[in-house]
Amino acid sequence: MSPASAMMETAEERIDAPAYDLDAVRAEFPILAETVRGRPLAYLDNAATTQKPEPVIAAVADCYRHGYANVARGVHALAERATLAYEEARAKVARFLGAEASEEIVFVRGTTEAINLAAGSWGRANVKAGDEILITELEHHANILPWQRLCEEVGARLVVAPIDERGEVPLEGIAARLSPRTRLAAVAHVSNVLGTLLPIREIATLVHDTGALLLVDGPQAAPHLAIDVRALGCDFYAFSGHKAYGPSGIGALWARREILAAMPPWQTGGGIVHKVAFTGTEYAEPPTRFEPGTPHLEGALGLAAAIDFIEALGRPIIAAWEKTLTERALDRLSDVPGLRLLGTPRERASLVSFVLPGIHPHDVATILDGEGIAVRVGHLCAQPLMARLGVPAVVRASFALYNTLDEVETLAAGLAKAREVFR
Amino acid sequence: MSVSGDLRDLYQDLILDHTRKPRNFHDLPRANRRAEGHNPLCGDRISLALDVQEDRIREAAFEGSGCAISVASASMLTEAVAGKSVDEARRLLGAFLTQTAGSPSAAGGPEVELGKLAAFAGVREFPMRVKCATLAWRALEAALAGGEPAVRTE
């Protein structure tokens, strides 16, 4: 059993309030007090990006006010403060993911850049003509396109493991598509469309048995589930700060130390070298080797503050509340005549996608917006999955630690209104 | 239940009527100008077909799928351009884009009567939905220009 599923089963089954003071937590997020089109904001688009609490806003502002300088360059007091703070943030991210050491964390712009780094550096060095890379049918474009492009460039083959009727990825489907030519499997931890929680530990065992490596695309999981990359048994893990209450433009790629040590630089530039001459260059050790140019200091400090915020509440406690919100939403959606729920995975994270018969998702979203409700609509950057599901677009409601049961009821009322308008 | 406030400007009864019962919603086998509009953001796809004889649009029809706004807009377009000369259709197109997207157009102008198409004026208040309303019209633009393979509004 994965750590996430163990946690979910030990969580209380029926609770009507989180184990923290929800009003006090909501008060930490200034934007939640906004009104939209004259209604209180019900922000249910958390899988796209989350709102920011005061400590994160303060961390970014304080960086500019009191501690801003370039990282790992100067020796003056501010440069020293900036460098130490940046490395403390890295250590915090390492602990957040269960990494063995800070040196295993590469700061990147977000998950997209993390996967491009893995493909551009590790992939180009290790994937050859005739090799295979395995992904699944439910992947986000960010975990398809870097691999598709790599395969096209080197003459490798992209192999796709299917989903089943529930929207789960059966292990047999993965096992049947692994081969001695498989170099890497790249899979989502949680589907951004179906909510499916993938059995990463079991997948890791299968993948490693064939001698390949496993990359996990984790932005939909990291803010919600306790992540322990060593327990999961993967080789790469990518996530984004902005989906975890942190700033945009910052995220991390974790990889095992020996893998990073053998990877060539990807983007090149200042700050990542031991010695440069026109005849050749000696690059620095990881993670410095992968962070050319001036780093996103305020982003890293904001992310560290976000991690502190999450850890103070506790991810198992947050997950228990999000599970309550999600179950209430599933209950309410099941009452809507004709509503088609996309994905009925047995282990689901805190998001639900659906379509209403005869009403385009964009019209649903516009009606909901009129009620102050923010949801996501569209193909959710998963066009191959949309094709598999036979829909051009979906509506997605996704929950975070600050959402309320009242907001779920507002969503249900908004859907009733949409049905009325398009009767 | 009625639509409240701003939403009534977007989902007017006339628009909802065309959404529910799209007019000229079929293939046009004798069409000699065709263009497809595709909005990758929402997956909307409108195929517009025109029968143009001696510089006059004899008939217009469309197929495809989309949101309420894009379907109603395509439906009303086919009614509005039927019988018009190519030049008149271009001026109507310019006026529609000016009204709906706020893009000034040399071709259109205040002298062009939009008639029922004025129902789409409210879309301007919903910037994320403007491209839904203009999708079929961009296809018209392409079809009149000789039929681009596909146009996108994203």
pLDDT of residue A167: 98
Residue B9: pLDDT over 60: yes
Give A323-353 pLDDT, tens digit per residue. Answer: 999 999 999 999 999 999 999 999 999 999 9
Mean pLDDT, range B127-147, rounded to an integer: 91
Which CATH class, in words, describes the domain spanning A57-310? alpha beta
Is residue A250 within 8 Å of A304, Cβ to Cβ? no
Query: Do the Cβ atoms of A420 and B41 come within 8 Å?
Result: no
Give A359's contacts in chain B (Cβ within 8 Å): 68
- Enter the tokens of residue A247: 């700033």
Q: What is the pTM of this model?
A: 0.92
Using DSSP bridges, classify how beta strands A251-255 and A105-108 pair: parallel, antiparallel or unpaired.
Answer: antiparallel
DSSP-derived letter for residue A350 is S
- Residue A3: pLDDT band (50, 70, 90) is very low
Q: What angle do CA A340, A341, A346 make, to 5 degrees?
A: 150
Is residue B1 included in any domain, yes or no?
A: no
**Complex ipTM value:** 0.84
Is residue B77 included in any domain, yes or no?
A: yes
- Among chain A residues, the shortest Cα distance to B44 is held by A392
Give A40-91 pLDDT, tens digit per residue. Answer: 999 999 999 999 999 999 999 999 999 899 998 888 999 999 999 999 999 9
Q: What Å distances lie between residue B62 and B22, B32, B41, B129, B140, CA to CA? A: 9, 13, 20, 20, 11
pLDDT of residue A407: 98
Number of structural domains, chain B?
Answer: 1
Give B53-104 pLDDT, tens digit per residue. Answer: 999 999 999 999 999 999 999 999 999 999 999 999 999 999 999 999 886 6
Is residue A367 within 8 Å of A417, Cβ to Cβ? yes
Give B126's contacts in chain A (Cβ within 8 Å): 366
Is residue A326 within 8 Å of A411, Cβ to Cβ? no
The CA distance from A145 to A55, in Å, is 35
Query: Do the Cβ atoms of B43 and A366 come within 8 Å?
Result: no
Is residue B153 included in any domain, yes or no?
A: no
Mean pLDDT, range A100-114, rounded to an integer: 98
- Among chain A residues, the shortest Cα distance to B12 is held by A421
- Select from A14, A83, A56 the least CA-distant residue to A325: A14
- Residue A6: pLDDT band (50, 70, 90) is very low
Catalytic, A381? Answer yes
Give B6's contacts in chain A (Cβ within 8 Å): 37, 370
Least confident of A63-77, A115-129, A206-220, A241-255: A63-77
Least confident of A166-180, A382-396, B111-125: B111-125
> Any idea what the CATH number is for the domain that residue B98 is in?
3.90.1010.10
Choose the closest CB to B66 out of A38, A360, A386.
Answer: A360
- The answer to whether A364 contacts chain B (CB < 8 Å) is no
φ, ψ at A319 (rounded to 5°): -60, -40
Give A301-331 pLDDT, tens digit per residue. Answer: 999 999 999 999 999 999 999 999 999 999 9
Is residue A271 within 8 Å of A72, Cβ to Cβ? yes
Residue A408: pLDDT over 50: yes
φ, ψ at A356 (rounded to 5°): -105, 140
Q: What Å distances lie between residue A67 and A59, A82, A84, A106, A403, CA to CA? A: 10, 6, 10, 22, 33
Helix ranges, A199-349 (H): 200-209, 229-232, 257-262, 297-313, 315-334
Q: Which residues contact A306 (CB under 8 A, 6 or more apart)?
A: A52, A53, A55, A56, A241, A244, A245, A246, A247
Q: For chain A, what are the domain ranges?
A: 3-49+314-418, 57-310
Q: Which residues contact A97 (CB under 8 A, 6 or more apart)?
A: A105, A222, A227, A228, A229, A237, A239, A252, A254
The CA distance from B47 to B71, in Å, is 11
Q: What is the CATH number of domain A3-49+314-418?
A: 3.90.1150.10
Q: Which residues contact A305 (CB under 8 A, 6 or more apart)?
A: A55, A56, A58, A59, A246
SS3 label, residue A295: coil
Q: Which domain holds residue B90?
A: 6-148
